[in-house]
Structure 1
Amino acid sequence: GLVSRLQCSWRCTGDVYLLGATNSGKSTLFNALLRSDYCKSRAPNIVDRATVSHWPGTTLNLLKFPIINPTCDRIFRRQERLREEATKTEDQLSSEEKKYLNHLKKQGYFVGRVGRTFQQPKSSPVVDFDPDMLSYSIGEDPRHSPKKHEEREEFTYNEVKDARWCFDTPGIVKENCVLNLLTEKEVKLVLPTQAIVPRTFILKPGMVLFLAALGRVDYLEGEKPAWFSVVASNLLPVHISILSKADAIYEKHAGQELLKVPMGGEERMKEFPPLVPQDITLKGIGTTEAVADIKLSSAGWVAVTAHMEEKLLLRAYTPKGTTLVVREPPLLPYISTIRGARIAGTAAYRTKKPPSLVENLKTTERR
């Protein structure tokens, strides 16, 4: 959808830059566009992929690829391919596609792929490695002499003389970001490496939600229970408590296994900034639609869903020096509707598994 909109509205009238904070997904998007019909067909064999890493600031070079000119013929051929892809059943997929599809389905993704319409024919198979070189490093075996490095494929002058380019830029490092306070080991837990599974909890007034020891949301006043959907790394624990015990829980378990991050016990917490509060007032718009997101710096966010016209007084906490943002409207307004059955004896719900694209297409065909 993004590629189609770019081709229809922006076409190739100017360069495109992917801008944003570190770890916001620019490099992942760049790599997807590189392998799509937004990129000249020969470019993926020439352009290096952007580095995708959990550690902020890994995109150090200004990578770019040339944007294809979306002529009427190319747009028509692309739409034909998309229609053909949409009618594919799972049985018609290659083994590699099936493996990738199953991997994504297990993580709860709504599955689809971008793909390319204008493939360049491969002239001959390329040998990726020499088996004989696996037993020795160069220099250890005198029978092996260093091989000449293969010449890198390059664009011709005519291919790029009038080209427009899509650039992947180094991320903007935010001064008020919680990641700046964390160790490398802690960053690996905070930044998701797999699809996030939203976790929804029902809280009554006087209850508290902890997101590790990096954020906290207190439900201070309201007439009815409300739903709080956590969108954060699956490795970060969510702990529910009552208001009267919340401070004691933080004092006892911050830096310990229960709250997980930060880690390192009392010594680590001595250098970690204290949590500071911010009061938030919201008014519910219905039990199926979130009214706002409470974004706890870069640790994640909590979408709040409440009864129509229900007034809520909340108090949210983040580490001193980091930014807490109330996002209205929320990014995923209907996130609470994917909650499944209530987990007995807890405030938590199970999460429904979203259907895959292939399963949806089969249902459509049967109808």
Structure 2
Amino acid sequence: VSRLQRSWKCAGDVYLLGATNSGKSTLFNTLLRSDYCKSRAPDIVDRATVSPWPGTTLNLLKFPIINPTCDRIFRRQERLKEEATKTEDQLSTEEKKYLNQLKKQGYLVGRVGRTFQQQDSSTEIDFDPDLLSYSMDEDPRDPPKKHEEREEFTHNEVKDARWCFDTPGIVKEDCVLNLLTEKEVKLVLPSHAIVPRTFILKPGMVLFLAALGRIDYLEGEKPAWFSVLASNLLPVHVTTLGNADALYEKHAGKEFLKVPMGGEERMKEFPPLVPQDITLRGIGTTEAVADIKLSSAGWVAVTAHAEEELLLRAYTPKGTALVVREPPLLPYISAIRGARIPGTPAYRTKKPPSFVENLRTTGSR
């Protein structure tokens, strides 16, 4: 928010653009609750509503951007300094309730919040910079009636306003979501924070992400770690190279691999998995060398011993994109693996650090 306020300079409207399901509506909702937005707007603007179908925001939503005057920027920085020193005991009941909800979904690295709140109309105000958001000819001595129910902004509130728009998003032609039914899409798109799942594979082993992706570890001298970042509703299965084709043939379209679903009839219309060979060279056991992105189903971060050369073969449905991302998005993701689960190639995931501790250590950044 601070960067947006510094760089924007009231130059025009702002649009959130990008591919479908890249988080534009989530960002829009966050900005709506922040100092980027005029303080009364959240009472009027419905938060972005996303339909179950991939990337389809139902309405083109917008909110008026607050004018980042020197006074507002100063007040915002003072609030951020104060928030950075808060402890859990100093939080309000509503804040504690919200933090407990977040703890169940994952952990947060910062906080948004609002510096500028609506003023009580019974209080006499000589000067309120919020009333001077864009129109310098508004009379600050005649504030609007704050408690009056209104469904729209007044003319003076919006006549010179700049707006932040949410957009439906750009549909990618090579996206796996285009191949899925509405029920399948709901399983693929994460609805909660992703819990990374790490597996150790030896040469000759295969990892399946549902029936949407497959990675074969063909050649290498040592085991390597494969960290899956995808919806927690998508199953991950590890088998041997000799059993992989039979496993796919038997279970694709059924509950074991989950997506796609619908049995043999569904798989007749679903594209076959097509391969792409990948060669990677490890950089150490604590840092991933690359991500193998399986279209919009998720990605797998590969961690290998230093200088270890791996030959992999990755599969995605025909017509969808498979991307090798170097450097990886989360290079140290394998470091949060916990103890090995006995008798399996899987690791437990470490419990994340205390939410409030994260809030304290990152709030000033």
- TM-score, normalising length from structure 2? 0.87
Decide whether aligned partners of structure 1 residues 309 and 10 sit closer, same or farther in structure 2, where only a CA change above 3 A counts: farther
Aligned-partner SS, 1:308: coil
Match in the other structure for 2:187: 189
Separation in structure 1 between the aligned mates of residue 32 and residue 269 of structure 2, nearest angstrom: 43
Q: Shift in Å at residue 363 of structure 1?
A: 8.1
Separation in structure 1 between the aligned mates of residue 121 and residue 312 of structure 2, nearest angstrom: 63
Whichever residue aligns with residue 92 of structure 2, its letter is S
Decide whether aligned partners of structure 1 residues 5 and 198 sit closer, same or farther in structure 2, where only a CA change above 3 A counts: same
Note if contact 1:105-1:111 (Cα within 8 Å) is conserved in structure 2.
no
Separation in structure 2 between the aligned mates of residue 286 and residue 5 of structure 1, nearest angstrom: 35
Aligned-partner SS, 1:166: strand
Whichever residue aligns with residue 186 of structure 1, its letter is E
Cα deviation code 1:57-97 (max 9, x no counterpart): 43143211121122222111111111222222222223332
Which of 56, 59, 64 pairs up with 2:57? 59
Higher mean displacement: 7-16 or 182-191: 7-16
Note if contact 1:28-1:52 (Cα within 8 Å) is conserved in structure 2.
no
Match in the other structure for 1:12: 10
Q: Shift in Å at residue 336 of structure 1?
A: 0.9
Aligned-partner SS, 2:296: coil
Separation in structure 2 between the aligned mates of residue 53 and residue 12 of structure 1, nearest angstrom: 32
Match in the other structure for 1:146: none
Cα deviation code 1:15-62 (max 9, x no counterpart): 221111222111111010011001112221222211134422431432
Higher mean displacement: 158-167 or 12-21: 158-167
Note if contact 2:290-2:324 (Cα within 8 Å) is conserved in structure 1.
yes
Q: Does 1:286 align with 2:301?
A: no
Aligned residues: 337
Separation in structure 2 between the aligned mates of residue 327 and residue 91 of structure 1, nearest angstrom: 43
Aligned-partner SS, 1:304: strand
Decide whether aligned partners of structure 1 residues 342 and 17 sit closer, same or farther in structure 2, where only a CA change above 3 A counts: same
Q: Runs of at least 4 residues of structure 1 off by over 6 A?
A: none
Q: Shift in Å at residue 152 of structure 1?
A: 3.6
Which of 220, 242, 254 pairs up with 1:222? 220
Match in the other structure for 1:351: 349
Equivalence map 1:150-229=2 (5 Å): 152-229=150-227
Separation in structure 1 between the aligned mates of residue 294 and residue 77 of structure 2, nearest angstrom: 41
Note if contact 1:111-1:356 (Cα within 8 Å) is conserved in structure 2.
no
Separation in structure 2 between the aligned mates of residue 319 and residue 93 of structure 1, nearest angstrom: 49
Note if contact 2:52-2:182 (Cα within 8 Å) is conserved in structure 1.
no
Note if contact 1:110-1:354 (Cα within 8 Å) is conserved in structure 2.
no
Note if contact 2:224-2:302 (Cα within 8 Å) is conserved in structure 1.
yes
Match in the other structure for 2:306: 308
Match in the other structure for 1:249: 247
Higher mean displacement: 23-32 or 8-17: 8-17
Note if contact 2:209-2:234 (Cα within 8 Å) is conserved in structure 1.
yes
Which of 275, 278, 302 pairs up with 1:277? 275
- TM-score, normalising length from structure 1? 0.87
Higher mean displacement: 33-42 or 8-17: 8-17
Q: Does 1:95 align with 2:93?
A: yes
Cα deviation code 1:243-290 (max 9, x no counterpart): 111101000111111111111111111111110001111111222211
Note if contact 1:108-1:353 (Cα within 8 Å) is conserved in structure 2.
no
Separation in structure 1 between the aligned mates of residue 121 and residue 318 of structure 2, nearest angstrom: 59
Separation in structure 2 between the aligned mates of residue 121 and residue 288 of structure 1, nearest angstrom: 52
Decide whether aligned partners of structure 1 residues 354 and 12 sit closer, same or farther in structure 2, where only a CA change above 3 A counts: farther
Whichever residue aligns with residue 17 of structure 2, its letter is L
Separation in structure 1 between the aligned mates of residue 328 and residue 287 of structure 2, nearest angstrom: 9
Gaps of 5+ in 1: 125-149
Note if contact 2:218-2:313 (Cα within 8 Å) is conserved in structure 1.
yes
Coordinate RMSD, CA, aligned? 2.0
Match in the other structure for 1:48: 46
